[in-house]
Homo-oligomer: A and B are copies of this chain.
Amino acid sequence: MERKWTTVRDLRRTNRSTVLSRLYLAGPLSRPEISRDTGLSAGTVSNVTAELIEEGLVVEAGQVDSHGGRPRALLRVDPDYGYVVGVDVGETRVRVELFDLAMTRRALVDRQLPSARPRPEAVVSRILTGLTEAISRAGVPEERILGVGIGVFGLVEQGPEVTVHAPTVGWQEVRLESSLRAGTRLPLFIDNGAKALGQAEMWYGAGRGRQHAVIVLVGSGVGAAVITHGQSYRGFTSSAGEWGHTTIVYGGRPCRCGSSGCLEAYVGAEGIIDRYRQARAGRPVPGGDEESQIAALVRARHSSTVAARILEETTGFLGAGLANLINLFNPELIVLGGWTGLVLGAELLPEIRVAAGRHALELPYRQVSIELSQLGADAVAFGAATLPVQDLLLRGGETGAARTAGSVRAARSSHR
């Protein structure tokens, strides 16, 4: 009962939010279209849009000619109203990208990390220097930055203060938010990288227009982002969706998480390569890094029965894992992403679908479609950048008395 949802002004805010969101996600729209989509009366739409235009969030974008009537004016969110930053924190590098509101990239900064088990301070310093560099490269005044979204590996706990847990790289309750807060006044939005990417896929990728989906990430690790009613499913402390460490072969292969039989131990890149090596009687798998090893395996499938068998098994495990998601979450869509997932999916998607069908219940399986990611494997920073945008939309474009910045509102009004 902590939510504040009572006054007539909150009503206005949600209506602003629905109008703004529709406008942002469904491209240029005319007022009558907004009215129809949102159920708001024409008068209200006119009223709300006038306010949004006045504030500079929305601009006119041409007209659409009519069949004998006043032509309807098209409206859209002004891409230059503000800018957002997305940060991809990986285990080997930090990547900072700056976008305008249309998600056109304006700057990109890449920083290597010294080791694959980076210390938090190393990450924090690279985020902060990357941030200033991206801002200066893009030539954008800092006051116009709406927020910084950060997609991190590991479990991101959204408490009174955001903390990150990633036992595999030795991070225990890392207070990432407060560390960053010391170095910037910009609003911060920290989330798990898979969840960030999932949101991007819903807005700009394979999930457009869907409400219930699971975006699955198969790379070195295996994760998932669950979307319900268009929103990320978080659970009690936001660590929901740890699909990679669900048991799929009771008592099976040991997993780096300490348990055994985890899905990740079978369909994560390392798991696949390891099983391939064992099937080759211990001979090393050709190719240098994991990526080329997987590629080699996929290429070999027509010539080598061993490779074919390994891939078939992998398809089976992956299918069963997807079936578990289908049975538990009943999504309308599953998006297969992550670099390993994309490599496998490019060749084997039909087989994966069939394998999922073998293990899932018939009804929910009939209602789900399994598709490939459209944004590719490298869109975590992009996804992270959508986090501040989402915040903007949910607030209906009002400068929330949120995390920081009273400067933003001032900057804005002096700007127009």
| Interface residues, chain A, with chain B CB atoms under 8 Å away | 1-8, 10-11, 14-15, 18, 22, 37-40, 44, 155, 157, 165, 167, 211-212, 224, 226, 228, 233-243, 245-250, 252, 257, 259, 261, 316-317, 320-321, 323-324, 327-332, 358-364, 367-368
Contacts and interface: CB of A to CB of B under 8 A. Distances in A.
A321 B248 CA distance: 9
B361 A44 contact: no
A317 B361 CA distance: 20
25 contacts: A2-B39, A3-B39, A6-B40, A7-B11, A8-B11, A11-B11, A157-B363, A211-B236, A212-B235, A228-B233, A233-B329, A235-B329, A235-B330, A239-B364, A240-B330, A242-B328, A242-B330, A243-B328, A246-B323, A246-B328, A247-B321, A247-B323, A250-B316, A259-B359, A259-B360
B1 A18 contact: yes
Nearest to A319: B247
A333 to B, nearest CB: 9
A330 B238 contact: yes
B361 A155 contact: yes
A224 B228 CA distance: 18
A391 B55 CA distance: 40
A6 B39 contact: yes
Stoichiometry (number of copies): 2
B363 A250 contact: no
Pairs of residues from A and B, 9 with the lowest C-beta to C-beta distance, nearest first: A235-B330, A240-B330, A242-B327, A236-B332, A246-B324, A212-B236, A247-B320, A249-B250, A239-B330
Given A362-B167, A367-B237, A243 B155 contact: no
Contacts of A6: 11, 14-15, 18, 38-40, 44
Contact of A252 (B37, B245, B250): B250
Contacts of A360: 245, 259
Contacts of A3: 39
Contacts of A323: 246-247, 259
Given A8-B11, A37-B1, A247 B245 contact: no
